[in-house]
């Protein structure tokens, strides 16, 4: 019995034979060509065919896993049309008299490396998307077939890596789990695995010699066990059966209230990063969106997103939620989330540096553009605005002056807007200590437990060497949450939690006893949290 550790994507159990998938890779050779115009035409034709293929994959994914997940291929389509990417390829062909295959491979490597070197995990995961579209072009240019494996029985699929298109093209009825050597928990392939409800592990030292052997993927422990013994198999089959019964039972919770036995109702909202995430929220019966991370609109753009671009995104989310609350967190860039076009200087302590509301209050035109977009969208749904990294009442006073100027400007232009609630994230010890005063200035608090834990314990949560010291259940954190809830209510504000602790079922009862009004979690945890709440007295 051989056991290896990895990072888990979905907490489920899979038992079955291993199938090792080895990709067919187009061989790329550097060649000098005379007719660069003809070579550029070859590239353009390959690009057109690739776009047709991506449209087909979009339609297939939309039917099998839903529109939100199918949007992955719309993203690929946009990346394939990206001017910088295409111009780089064409420049290599034209200036270097190089064949299209080599130009695509070289540009693909450069752009993939650029994304992979970024600090932000979401942007880092886009490296795999660049590789995917580059490989698609290379296969079309070289005539290599790009099909996934033919699976004749249910298997645990292992591979060095899997692209989103390879994942979608496979016969899902015969896939028990994915296990890869590479990958990211934020990759589109990981997102697809979650949406298909297939357990997956990444960063596993796989071995092609496993092909055909029995294995168990334990998504709870993040392990794969090759040639498991009978005792271990029986134990894991028991967990698998328990999960199956639990998932079936949780479906009955759709449409039910998240209410304790004594009648206390807790709002269970969802955290999202993009517009496409809304479909998953609705599928899981989320009661609202407690955290829309608006910075992803900035991270996915090569320039500051315009007011119109932002307005359309916020409006779409509000309309899709059909009157349910949508809390939009204003720009939270900085620290581990960087964008080149803001030209932010390197800092010795970025987590303590120029980030979030500090950028907005010093670059007010960027802030006003976003606020105008949010206010305009508020005419189309139940939108609220939340400000991150607040440490003082004085900051709120500055924000309110800017809000007033934005509303005056919209009124003068005859542009309609709603009356969004205003809230702040409590994610610094300073905010906790002045929470009674802050509560008198806002409608709600949302406690960001990730940063609150980091700043309270003086532990960089990006540093893996400190994992042993990172204790999210530290008494100081729980006392701060209690203090914030009490002070919020005293000042007339409702209080929610949107950090990872919101989904920690070990703490749910304690949070309810503290008097929390709302818990906002990733969509897959909504029904589990509702079940936990409904089981409390």
Q: What is the mean pLDDT of each run of 10 residues along the chain (537 residues)?
A: 87 92 78 92 93 86 68 83 90 92 92 79 75 88 72 88 70 85 68 72 90 93 93 93 85 92 95 82 92 83 87 94 96 66 68 83 93 97 96 96 97 97 96 97 95 89 71 93 97 93 93 97 88 93
> 101-107: long-range contacts (C-beta < 8 A, 24 or more apart)?
101/26, 101/28, 101/29, 101/31, 101/138, 101/141, 101/142, 102/28, 102/29, 102/30, 102/31, 103/43, 104/43, 104/134, 104/137, 104/138, 104/141, 105/28, 105/134, 105/138, 107/134
At 102, list the tokens: 């080599």
Q: How many domains does the chain have?
A: 3
CATH of the domain at 314: 3.20.20.60
Picking from 101, 119, 142, the residue at the C-terminal end of a domain is: 142
105 with 224, same domain: the answer is: no
Of 202, 236, 270, the last residue of a domain is 236
Co-location of 383 and 509 in the same domain: yes
CA 499 from centre of chain? 14
Same domain for 380 and 500, yes or no, is: yes
- Whether residue 245 lies inside any domain: the answer is no
169, 135: one domain: no
Same domain, 69 and 113: yes
Instruction: Compute the distance between CA of residue 465 and CA of residue 488 in angstroms, rounded to an integer.
Output: 35
Verify that 369 and 305 share a domain, yes or no: yes
What element of type H or E holds 87? helix 83-96
Look up residue 240 and give its two tokens: 């698998």
User: Does residue 227 sit in the same domain as residue 277?
Assistant: no
What CATH number is attached to the domain comprising 198?
3.50.30.10
Residue 246 lies in a domain: no
Closest among 328, 403, 329 to 361, alpha carbons compared:
403
**pLDDT the model gives residue 462:** 62
Task: Check residue 272 and report its DSSP letter.
Answer: E
- Domain boundary, last residue among 113, 142, 171: 142
Is residue 314 in a domain? yes
Tell me the HSE value of 259 on the side-chain side, using a 13 A CA sphere: 9
| Residue 40's CATH number | 1.10.274.10
Residue 27 inside a domain? The answer is no
Give me the phi and psi of 521, to 5 degrees please: -135, 170
Task: Give me the domain span that covers residue 511.
Answer: 260-535
Going from the C-alpha of 91 to that of each of 37, 97, 109, the distances in angstroms are: 11, 9, 15
Beta bridge partners of 2: 226
- Cα–chain center distance at 516: 25
Same domain, 348 and 497: yes
Q: Two tokens at 351?
A: 């987590």
Residues serving a catalytic function are: 188, 498
Residues 112 and 191 in one domain: no
Do 434 and 410 fall into the same domain?
Answer: yes
* pTM, to two decimals: 0.67
Six-digit token pair at 388?
Answer: 């991150």
| Nearest Cα to Cα of residue 495 among 438, 537, 455, 533 | 438
Q: How far apart are CA 77 and CA 455, in angstroms?
A: 40
For residue 416, tell me if it sits in a domain: yes
Is residue 251 in a domain? Answer: no
Residues 485 and 356 in one domain: yes
Same domain, residue pair 14 and 61: no
In a domain, 254, yes or no: no
In a domain, 372, yes or no: yes
């Amino acid at each position: 019995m051989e056991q290896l550790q990895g990072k888990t994507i979905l907490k489920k159990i899979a038992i079955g034979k291993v199938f090792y998938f080895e990709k067919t890779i187009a061989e790329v050779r550097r060649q000098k060509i005379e007719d660069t115009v003809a070579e550029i035409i070859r590239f353009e034709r390959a690009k057109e065919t690739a776009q047709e293929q991506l449209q087909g994959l979009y339609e297939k994914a939309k039917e099998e896993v839903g529109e939100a997940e199918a949007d992955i291929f719309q993203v690929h389509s946009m990346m394939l049309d990206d001017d910088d990417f295409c111009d780089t390829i064409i420049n290599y062909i034209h200036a270097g008299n190089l064949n299209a295959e080599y130009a695509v491979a070289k540009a693909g490597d450069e752009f993939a490396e650029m994304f992979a070197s970024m600090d932000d995990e979401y942007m880092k995961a886009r490296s795999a998307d660049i590789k995917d579209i580059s490989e698609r072009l290379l296969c079309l240019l070289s005539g290599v077939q790009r099909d996934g494996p033919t699976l004749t029985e249910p298997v645990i699929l292992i591979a060095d890596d899997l692209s989103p298109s390879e994942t979608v093209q496979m016969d899902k009825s015969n896939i028990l789990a994915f296990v890869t050597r590479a990958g990211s928990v934020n990759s589109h392939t990981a997102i697809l695995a979650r949406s298909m409800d297939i357990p997956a592990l990444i960063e596993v030292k796989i071995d092609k010699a496993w092909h055909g052997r029995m294995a168990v993927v334990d998504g709870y422990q993040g392990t794969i066990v090759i040639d498991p013994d009978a005792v271990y198999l029986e134990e894991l089959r028991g967990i698998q059966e328990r999960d199956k019964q639990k998932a079936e039972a949780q479906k009955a919770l759709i449409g039910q209230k998240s209410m304790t036995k004594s009648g206390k109702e807790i709002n269970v909202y969802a955290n999202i990063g993009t517009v496409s995430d809304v479909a998953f929220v609705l599928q899981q019966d989320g009661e609202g969106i407690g955290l829309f991370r608006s910075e992803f609109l900035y991270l996915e753009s090569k320039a500051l997103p315009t007011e119109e671009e932002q307005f359309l995104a916020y409006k779409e989310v509000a309309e899709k939620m059909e009157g349910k609350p949508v809390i939009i967190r204003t720009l939270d860039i900085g620290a581990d989330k960087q964008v080149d076009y803001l030209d932010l200087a390197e800092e010795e302590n970025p987590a303590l540096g120029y980030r979030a509301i500090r950028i907005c209050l010093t670059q007010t035109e960027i802030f006003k553009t976003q606020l105008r977009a949010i206010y305009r969208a508020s005419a189309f749904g139940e939108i609220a605005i939340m400000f991150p990294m607040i440490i003082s009442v004085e900051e709120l006073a500055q924000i309110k002056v800017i809000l007033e100027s934005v509303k005056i400007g919209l009124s003068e232009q005859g542009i309609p807007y709603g009356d969004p609630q205003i809230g702040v994230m409590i994610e610094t010890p300073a905010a906790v200590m002045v929470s009674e005063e802050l509560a008198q200035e806002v409608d709600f608090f949302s406690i960001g437990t990730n940063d609150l834990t980091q700043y309270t314990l003086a532990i960089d949560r990006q540093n893996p060497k400190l994992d042993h010291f990172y204790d999210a259940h530290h008494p100081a954190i729980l006392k701060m949450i209690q203090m914030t809830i009490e002070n919020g209510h005293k000042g007339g504000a409702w209080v929610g939690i949107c950090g990872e602790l919101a989904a920690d079922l070990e703490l749910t009862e304690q949070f309810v006893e503290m008097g929390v009004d709302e818990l906002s979690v990733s969509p897959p945890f909504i029904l589990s949290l509702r079940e936990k709440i409904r089981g409390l007295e």
